[in-house]
Amino acid sequence: MPGNSFGQLFRITTFGESHGGAVGVVIDGCPPGLTISEADIQKDLDRRKPGQSNITTPRKEEDIISILSGVFEGQTTGTPIAMLAHNKDQRPEDYDALSKVFRPSHADFTYTAKYGLRDFRGSGRASARETLARVAAGAVAKKYLKEKLGMEFLAFTEQVGDIKSVIGDNDVTLEKIEANIVRCPEPAVAEKMIALINSVREAKDSVGGVIRGLIRNAPAGLGEPVFDKLHADLAKAMVSINAVKGFEIGSGFDGVNMRGSKHNDPFINRAGKIGTTTNYSGGIQGGISNGEDIVFRVAFKPVSTIGIEQSTVDIKGEPAALSAVGRHDPCVLPRAVPIVEAMAALVIMDHYLRNRGQVDPKENI
């Protein structure tokens, strides 16, 4: 089956290419009665759009979203919601030089191997521009979960290259995240990250990093073992984002350095509600949410399209040299923050609806 849809009960299907006419999404399964507007969705799209600072791609796209169906008099109707944003700042000629060669570590070769052809204009469907549709759908899920359960989805740039933030999860706020262009809630660390990204950009190179995700006020009981464990679906969601090479939940790989006696999260009764005193599990145990904050990390590789000359081959397999031109992010993390939030919200929304068909998680514990 083609891999353009995500979710079961709250299901999205995205469409469109980087330099095609538009990018859009169809949401099926959104409950009726949610008050939603294009302005609600635009706020998150503005955080993802290109050209928003000097450390992102200079492509100028306003990413103005239009709701085409599924909303009547400001409320969702329960029918499919279709949303669309037209591409405006298209320069396909920037990619003519890439039509005959394969960029190292890019999808150029693998798309050709799979389909026998590829859209070389900004990578077509392989472009991160497709994530516009995910962010639009995620904004709907975030609003529903905020109003229904008081949930909050936050992501921030935790690390760029070897520069890392050590801020505590409880100190992270949306205001702190949005206070600078790299979206790191520690101002002093953010300045160092920005300086590094600028130096990499000037060198025509790229740099990767880590985004930390926080899901607050998730109810206990979400997740469908054994194959649809909550963290398994979160992992799939995050690794489906362009340039992602790693995912951790809770203590992640650091947990291998701990003994069970240290890593286990002791239970506690907080005024009649069961919780834990630590959160090495990252809010998920046995594939099911335990009511604590869900905490995860997502690793992004350096962007593969760079201006430094690299060795490659052309479409005939002959040796070639490539110095890529065009408009590309030297570091994807600042614009990937709302994408991580959106994918997390889509997973939780789908699992909430699946669980609601069995039992209201608030009635359990």
**pLDDT tens track for 323-360:** 887 667 899 999 999 999 999 999 999 999 999 887 65
Please state whether the peptide bond connecting residue 256 to the residue before it is cis, i.e. omega within 30 degrees of 0.
Answer: no
Q: What structural domains does the chain harbor?
A: 5-363 (3.60.150.10)
Residues of the chain above pLDDT 70, percent: 95
Residues of the chain above pLDDT 90, percent: 81
Q: List the structure tokens of 42.
A: 């635009």
Q: Are 325 and 94 in contact (CB under 8 A)?
A: yes
Q: Rounded to whole angstroms, how far apart are CA atoms 210 and 300?
A: 6
Q: Rounded to whole angstroms, how far apart are CA atoms 332 and 249?
A: 21
Q: Rounded to whole angstroms, how far apart are CA atoms 244 and 300?
A: 4
- How many Å separate Cα 7 from the centre of its chain? 15
Does pLDDT of 112 surpass 80?
yes
Q: Are 64 and 190 in contact (CB under 8 A)?
A: no
Burial status of residue 230 (CB atoms within 10 A of its CB: 0-12, 13-18, 19 or more): buried
User: What pTM was estimated for this model as a whole?
Assistant: 0.95
Does pLDDT of 95 surpass 90?
no
Q: Rounded to whole angstroms, how far apart are CA atoms 237 and 224?
A: 15
Note the pLDDT of residue 89.
65
Q: Rounded to whole angstroms, how far apart are CA atoms 125 and 20?
A: 9
What single letter denotes the amino acid at residue 229?
A: K
Q: Which residues pair with 232 in a beta bridge?
A: none
Burial status of residue 293 (CB atoms within 10 A of its CB: 0-12, 13-18, 19 or more): middle
Does pLDDT of 207 surpass 70?
yes
Cα 287 to Cα 92, 282, 295, 362: the distances in Å are 44, 11, 14, 18
Convert the pLDDT of each residue in 137-146 to its tens digit.
999 999 999 9
Q: What number of other Cβ atoms are within 10 A of residue 361's Cβ?
A: 20
Supply the mean pLDDT for the chain: 93
Q: What is the mean pLDDT of residues 16-45?
A: 95
